[in-house]
Structure 1
Amino acid sequence: MYQKILITTDGSAISQHTACAGVKFAHQMGAEVLALFVAPEYQYPVYVEIIPPSYPSEEEYVAQMRRMGEEYMGSIMRAADKCGLKHSCMTAFSDSAALKIVDIAEEQHCDLIFMGSHGRSGWGQLLLGSVTNKVLSQTAKPVLVHRLIKEPGT
């Protein structure tokens, strides 16, 4: 049914549990896995004439985000490898994670986007916004939303 599944992660415990569920789902489908971490774009300090020496350069920031992305996606890659699935990972940069997820799914010809929901509702969802809701509203591709019944570690 699905040939290539995009699994997103932000590095949080909830996201890691969702990613593991995504790999299990891909295994059931016999699908390839593409893991994605979207990092915010580099921001220059505002209202500062001279960049402080402790502030990372753009190259340092990009390298650090790529390392973090590899760390976050490592468990996905190990799980996919253990299941014998074809897999790859990608770190992308955007201040709009939802739009970047949709763009990557299109560019990489993914059949399904597998992502989690933190389960916020009411004002929490309205005030904070939801990457998952934004993805759902921006793509015509199927999106499988995985929701945890309880927080990891409880």
Structure 2
Amino acid sequence: MYRKILITTDGSTVSKHTACAGVRFAQQMGAEVLALFVAPEYQFPVYVEIVPPAYPSEDEYFEAMRRVGADHLRSIQDKSASCNLHCETLVEFSDATAQKICDVAEERGCDLIFIGSHGRSGWGQVLLGSVTNKVLSHTAKPVLVHRLLQNPVD
């Protein structure tokens, strides 16, 4: 049914549990996995006239975020390998995370987006915003939302 499943992570405990569930789902479907970490774009300091010496350069920032992304994606890669699934990892940069997730799913030919939800509702969801809700409203691709019913423990 699904041949390629996009699994997103932001490195949080919720997304780690979601990613693990996503890999198990991919295994059941016999699908390959595309694991995605979206990092924010580099921000120049706008509050000072000159850049402080300790402030990272654009290149340093991108390299550091690629390392952070690779660390977060490693658990998906390891879980996929233990399930004998092909897994590709990808670190992207965008301040519009939901749109980037949708774009990657389209560009890479994914059949399904597997994404987590903190399970907030009502005002908590409205005030905090939700990447998951934005993905649901910005893509025509199927989206499977994995919701944790209780708080996970690290």
Q: TM-score range by the shorter chain?
A: over 0.9
Q: Which residue number corresponds to residue 84 of structure 2?
A: 84
In the alignment, the residues of structure 2 paired with residue 125 and residue 87 of structure 1 have an alpha-carbon distance, to the nearest angstrom, of: 32
- Structure 1 outlier segments of 4+, above 3 Å: none
1:34 corresponds in structure 2 to 34
Query: What is the TM-score when the length of structure 2 is the normalising length?
Result: 0.98
5 Å-filtered alignment, 1:4-153, equals 4-153=4-153
Provide TM-score, normalisation by structure 1. Answer: 0.98
Give the CA deviation at 1:49.
1.3
Q: CA deviation at 1:47?
A: 2.9
Structure 1 counterpart of 2:127, which letter?
L
Matched residue SS, 2:18: helix
Q: CA deviation at 1:48?
A: 1.5
C-alpha distance in structure 2 between counterparts of 1:123 and 1:30, whole Å: 38
Range with greater deviation from structure 2 (117-126 or 15-24): 117-126
Alpha-carbon shift at residue 153 of structure 1 (Å): 1.5
User: Once the 2 structures are TM-superposed, how far is the Cα of residue 141 of structure 1 from its aligned partner?
Assistant: 0.1
Aligned-partner Cα distance in 2 for 1:67–1:41? 15
Task: Tell me how far apart the structure 1 counterparts of residues 152 and 72 of structure 2 sit (CA, whole Å).
Answer: 16
- SS of residue in 1 equivalent to 2:120: coil
Q: Secondary structure at the match of 2:62?
A: helix
Aligned residues: 154
CA RMSD of aligned residues (A): 0.9
Q: Which amino acid aligns with 2:34?
A: L
